[in-house]
Amino acid sequence: GDQVEQSPSALSLHEGTGSALRCNFTTTMRAVQWFQQNSRGSLINLFYLASGTKENGRLKSTFNSKESYSTLHIRDAQLEDSGTYFCAVDTNAYKVIFGKGTHLHVLP
C-alpha cells in the first residue's frame, strides 16, 4: 500500500466553516510538510514540522510521531483556500514522499 495516505480525498466547505485534513504514514518519518497547490498550479509551502504543533493564521498543523499521522486544521475557510492540499513526509535525509492530496472546495 501507499506509504503516505491522505484523507479525505475531497472536501467541500462553506465559507466561514472549518475542518481537518489528515495524513497517515506507514513508514518511519522524521518530519512532515504541508503544501497548498492553488488554482494556478503553484505549490505553496504551509508548514514543516518535526514535532508538535504549528499555527499560522487560520491554519494549524499537528504532528504525532507515535501514532504516525499529521493533521492540517483550517478554520474560517475562505474562497482562496480552495485547492489541493498535499502532505509530504521526510523519510530520511532528503527522501520526501508525497501523499495523493485532498481536493478542497470552499463554497460561497
Partner 1 sequence: GALVYQYPRRTICKSGTSMRMECQAVGFQATSVAWYRQSPQKTFELIALSTVNSAIKYEQNFTQEKFPISHPNLSFSSMTVLNAYLEDRGLYLCGAGTPNTGQLYFGEGSKLTVL
Binding stretches for partner 1 (CB under 8 A): 30-31, 33, 35, 41-45, 48, 86, 88, 90, 93-101
HEC letters along 45-86: EEEEECCEEEEECCEEEEEECCCCEEEEEECCCCHHHCEEEE
Q: Least Å distance between CB 25 and partner 1?
A: 14
| Pair 83, 23: CB distance under 8 Å | no
**48 or 69: CB nearest partner 1:** 48
Q: How far apart are CA 108 and CA 67, in angstroms?
A: 35
**3 or 18: CB nearest partner 1:** 3
Q: Least Å distance between CB 79 and partner 1?
A: 21
| Pair 100, 16: CB distance under 8 Å | no
**95 or 105: CB nearest partner 1:** 95
User: Which DSSP letter does residue 78 get?
Assistant: -
**77 or 89: CB nearest partner 1:** 89
Q: Least Å distance between CB 49 and partner 1?
A: 10
Q: Least Å distance between CB 16 and partner 1?
A: 29
User: Which DSSP letter does residue 3 get?
Assistant: S
